[in-house]
Amino acid sequence: MMDYKGKVILMSENGTKRIRRTPEERIAEIDAKIGAVNQSIEELEAKKHAAAASFDEKIAAAQERIKGLEAKKQEILSPKPPRKPRKTKKQKIQEILKEAQKSGMKPEEIAERLGVSLSE
Protein backbone atom coordinates (compact mmCIF):
# COMPACT_ATOMS: atom_id res chain seq x y z
CA MET A 1 0.00 0.00 0.00
CA MET A 2 1.27 3.53 -0.80
CA ASP A 3 0.34 6.86 0.76
CA TYR A 4 -0.07 10.17 -1.05
CA LYS A 5 3.68 11.04 -0.82
CA GLY A 6 4.80 7.88 -2.50
CA LYS A 7 5.92 6.17 0.72
CA VAL A 8 5.23 2.54 1.26
CA ILE A 9 2.99 1.84 4.22
CA LEU A 10 3.24 -1.55 5.87
CA MET A 11 0.66 -3.04 8.11
CA SER A 12 2.00 -4.64 11.26
CA GLU A 13 0.37 -7.62 12.94
CA ASN A 14 -1.66 -5.55 15.39
CA GLY A 15 -3.16 -3.47 12.61
CA THR A 16 -1.30 -0.17 12.96
CA LYS A 17 0.32 1.38 9.94
CA ARG A 18 4.09 1.71 9.74
CA ILE A 19 5.64 4.12 7.26
CA ARG A 20 8.69 2.89 5.38
CA ARG A 21 11.25 5.65 5.14
CA THR A 22 13.16 6.42 1.99
CA PRO A 23 16.91 5.75 1.82
CA GLU A 24 17.55 9.51 1.81
CA GLU A 25 15.63 9.92 5.07
CA ARG A 26 17.48 7.03 6.66
CA ILE A 27 20.83 8.46 5.50
CA ALA A 28 19.89 11.89 6.89
CA GLU A 29 19.08 10.30 10.26
CA ILE A 30 22.40 8.41 10.26
CA ASP A 31 24.23 11.63 9.33
CA ALA A 32 22.55 13.38 12.27
CA LYS A 33 23.69 10.58 14.59
CA ILE A 34 27.22 10.77 13.17
CA GLY A 35 27.22 14.53 13.78
CA ALA A 36 26.11 14.00 17.39
CA VAL A 37 28.83 11.39 17.95
CA ASN A 38 31.44 13.71 16.38
CA GLN A 39 30.27 16.50 18.70
CA SER A 40 30.65 14.21 21.72
CA ILE A 41 34.13 13.22 20.50
CA GLU A 42 35.09 16.92 20.31
CA GLU A 43 33.79 17.48 23.85
CA LEU A 44 35.76 14.46 25.10
CA GLU A 45 38.90 15.72 23.34
CA ALA A 46 38.47 19.10 25.03
CA LYS A 47 38.12 17.39 28.42
CA LYS A 48 41.15 15.24 27.63
CA HIS A 49 43.29 18.29 26.82
CA ALA A 50 42.10 20.09 29.96
CA ALA A 51 42.92 17.04 32.09
CA ALA A 52 46.31 16.64 30.41
CA ALA A 53 47.11 20.31 31.07
CA SER A 54 46.06 19.88 34.70
CA PHE A 55 48.29 16.84 35.12
CA ASP A 56 51.18 18.62 33.37
CA GLU A 57 50.88 21.42 35.95
CA LYS A 58 50.87 18.89 38.78
CA ILE A 59 53.92 17.13 37.33
CA ALA A 60 55.78 20.44 37.00
CA ALA A 61 54.97 21.31 40.63
CA ALA A 62 56.22 17.89 41.76
CA GLN A 63 59.44 18.35 39.77
CA GLU A 64 59.99 21.75 41.41
CA ARG A 65 59.51 20.09 44.80
CA ILE A 66 62.10 17.45 43.83
CA LYS A 67 64.57 20.20 42.87
CA GLY A 68 64.08 21.81 46.28
CA LEU A 69 64.64 18.51 48.04
CA GLU A 70 67.74 17.81 45.94
CA ALA A 71 69.12 21.21 46.96
CA LYS A 72 68.51 20.38 50.63
CA LYS A 73 70.19 17.01 50.10
CA GLN A 74 73.28 18.68 48.58
CA GLU A 75 73.35 21.15 51.45
CA ILE A 76 73.38 18.27 53.91
CA LEU A 77 76.05 16.36 51.99
CA SER A 78 78.37 19.37 51.83
CA PRO A 79 78.13 20.87 55.30
CA LYS A 80 79.48 24.29 56.20
CA PRO A 81 82.96 24.39 57.70
CA PRO A 82 82.85 24.19 61.48
CA ARG A 83 82.99 27.45 63.36
CA LYS A 84 85.79 28.27 65.71
CA PRO A 85 84.78 27.34 69.19
CA ARG A 86 84.00 30.32 71.38
CA LYS A 87 86.37 31.14 74.18
CA THR A 88 85.38 32.01 77.70
CA LYS A 89 86.76 35.06 79.49
CA LYS A 90 89.06 32.85 81.50
CA GLN A 91 90.46 31.25 78.32
CA LYS A 92 91.00 34.67 76.74
CA ILE A 93 92.86 35.96 79.80
CA GLN A 94 95.03 32.84 79.92
CA GLU A 95 95.85 33.29 76.23
CA ILE A 96 96.83 36.93 76.79
CA LEU A 97 99.07 35.98 79.72
CA LYS A 98 100.65 33.19 77.69
CA GLU A 99 101.44 35.58 74.82
CA ALA A 100 102.88 38.11 77.27
CA GLN A 101 105.13 35.43 78.77
CA LYS A 102 106.24 34.35 75.29
CA SER A 103 107.29 37.91 74.56
CA GLY A 104 109.61 37.78 77.58
CA MET A 105 107.56 39.51 80.24
CA LYS A 106 107.65 38.26 83.78
CA PRO A 107 104.53 37.89 85.90
CA GLU A 108 105.54 40.92 87.99
CA GLU A 109 105.86 43.09 84.85
CA ILE A 110 102.46 41.97 83.60
CA ALA A 111 100.87 42.77 86.95
CA GLU A 112 102.61 46.16 87.05
CA ARG A 113 101.35 47.09 83.57
CA LEU A 114 97.84 46.00 84.49
CA GLY A 115 97.99 48.01 87.68
CA VAL A 116 97.49 44.97 89.85
CA SER A 117 99.53 44.07 92.89
CA LEU A 118 100.61 40.47 93.43
CA SER A 119 100.24 39.14 96.92
CA GLU A 120 102.40 36.25 97.85
Confidence at residue 97, expressed as pLDDT on a 0 to 100 scale: 86
Confidence at residue 20, expressed as pLDDT on a 0 to 100 scale: 85
Against a cut of 0.75, is the pTM above it? no
C-alpha separations of 25 from 29, 30, 32, 104 in Å:
6, 9, 11, 122
Decide: 20 and 7 in contact? Cβ < 8 Å.
yes
Task: Determine the Cα–Cα distance for residues 66 and 29; give it in Å rounded to an integer.
Answer: 55
Domain boundaries, the chain: 39-82, 83-120
DSSP-derived pairing of the beta strands 9-11 and 17-19 = antiparallel
DSSP 15-58: S-EEEPPPHHHHHHHHHHHHHHHHHHHHHHHHHHHHHHHHHHHH
Q: Tens of pLDDT along the chain (120 residues)? A: 444 555 555 555 566 777 888 999 999 999 999 999 999 999 999 999 999 999 999 999 999 999 999 999 998 888 788 888 888 999 998 998 889 888 888 888 888 888 877 765
